[in-house]
Chains A and B, each alone.
Chain A
Amino acid sequence: MTGREKILSDVVKNKPTAIPLPVLDFKSIDQPFDILETFTKYVQAVGGEVVHVAHEQALLQQVTNERSAGKYIINRVPAGGQVDDVPVDPAILESVYRAYIKGSFGVAENGAIWVMESAMGNRILPFICEQLVLVLHKTELVANMHEAYASIQIDKEGYGVFIAGPSKTADIEQSLVIGAHGPKALSVLIIM
Chain B
Amino acid sequence: MNPSHAKLAEAFNADEKRTDWHDQTLWFVRQKRDKAAHVLPEWEKLRQWASDIKDHTLSNLDVYLAEFEQKATANGVQVHWALDAADHNAIIHKIIRDQGLTRIVKSKSMLTEECHLNDYLQQSGIEVIDTDLGERIVQFRKEPPSHIVLPAIHLKKQDVSETFQEHLGTEAGNYDPQYLTQAARIHLREKFIQSELAITGVNFAVAETGGFVVCTNEGNADMGVHSAKIHIGCMGIEKIIPKAEHLGVFTRLLARSATGQPITTYTSHFHRPRPGQEMHIVIVDNGRTRQLGREDFRNSLKCIRCAACFNTCPVYRRSGGHSYHTAVAGPIGSILNPNLDMKANADLPFASTLCGSCTNVCPVKINIHEQLWKWRQVIAEEGLVAPSKKYSMKMMAFVLARPSLYRIAGSAGRWVMRNLSFLVKVKSLNPWYKQREMPDAPKESFRDWYKKNKEV
A7 within 8 A of B: yes
Tell me the A152-181 residues at the B interface (CB within 8 Å).
Answer: 153-155, 157-175, 177, 179-181
Q: How large is the interface on A (under 10, 10 to 19, 20 to 34, 35 or more residues)?
A: 35 or more
Q: Are A165 and B157 in contact (CB under 8 A)?
A: no
Question: A14 touching B219 by the CB < 8 A rule?
Answer: no
- A160 touches which of B55, B269, B283 (Cβ 8 Å): B269
Contact A144/B248 with A15-B60, A172-B157 known, Cβ cut-off 8 Å? yes
A7/B289 contact (C-beta < 8 A), A154-B206, A159-B272 known = yes
State how many angstroms separate the Cβ of A132 from the closest Cβ of chain B: 10
Bound: A172/B48 CA distance, A = 34
Instruction: Return chain A residues, CB-CB under 8 Å to B274.
Output: 117, 123, 158-159
Separation of A81 and B67 alpha carbons in the complex (Å): 44
A15, B58: Cβ atoms under 8 Å? yes
Alpha-carbon distance between A30 and B46 when the two chains are bound, in angstroms: 13
A157 to B49, CA, bound (A): 28
For the complex, is A70 an interface residue (Cβ under 8 Å from B)? no
A181 to B224, CA, bound (A): 10
A127 touches B223 (CB 8 A): yes
Taken together as a complex, chains A and B put the C-alpha atoms of A107 and B255 apart, in Å, by 15
Minimum distance in angstroms from A11 CB to a CB of chain B: 4
Of B151, B220, B247, B262, the residue contacting A45 (CB under 8 A) is B262
A69 beta carbon closer than 8 Å to chain B: no
Instruction: Please determine whether A168 and B265 come into contact, CB atoms closer than 8 angstroms.
Output: yes
Which among A4, A10, A128, A169 has the greatest number of chain B C-beta atoms within 10 A?
A169
CB within 8 Å for A110 and B263 given contacts A14-B290, A174-B28, A177-B181: yes
Tell which of B55, B83, B188, B290 touches A19, judged by Cβ atoms closer than 8 Å.
Answer: B55
B131-A181 in contact (CB<8A): yes
Smallest CB–CB gap between A116 and chain B, Å?
10
Chain A nearest CB from B325 CB (Å) reads 22
Q: Which residues of B contact A145 (CB under 8 A)?
A: 247-249, 251-252, 263
Q: Does B11 contact A (CB under 8 A)?
A: no
A3 pairs with B59, CB closer than 8 A:
no
Q: A145-B252, A180-B217 are in contact. List 4 more A-B contacts (CB 8 A).
A: A10-B293, A24-B49, A164-B263, A174-B25
Can you list 17 contacts pairing A with B, beta carbon distance less than 8 Å? A4-B81, A10-B290, A11-B61, A11-B62, A14-B290, A21-B56, A29-B45, A145-B251, A150-B248, A167-B219, A169-B134, A172-B177, A173-B157, A173-B177, A174-B28, A180-B133, A181-B192
* B interface residue numbers (CB < 8 A to A): 25, 28-29, 41-42, 45, 48-49, 52-53, 55-56, 58-62, 65-66, 69, 75, 81-83, 87, 131-134, 137, 150-153, 155-157, 160, 177-178, 180-182, 185, 188-189, 192-193, 206, 209-211, 217-220, 222-223, 225-227, 237, 242, 244-245, 247-249, 251-252, 259, 261-274, 283, 285, 289-290, 292-293, 295, 298
Residue positions of A touching B, CB distance < 8 A: 2-4, 6-8, 10-22, 24, 26, 28-30, 42, 45-46, 90-91, 94, 107, 109-112, 117, 122-124, 127-128, 144-146, 148-150, 153-155, 157-175, 177, 179-183
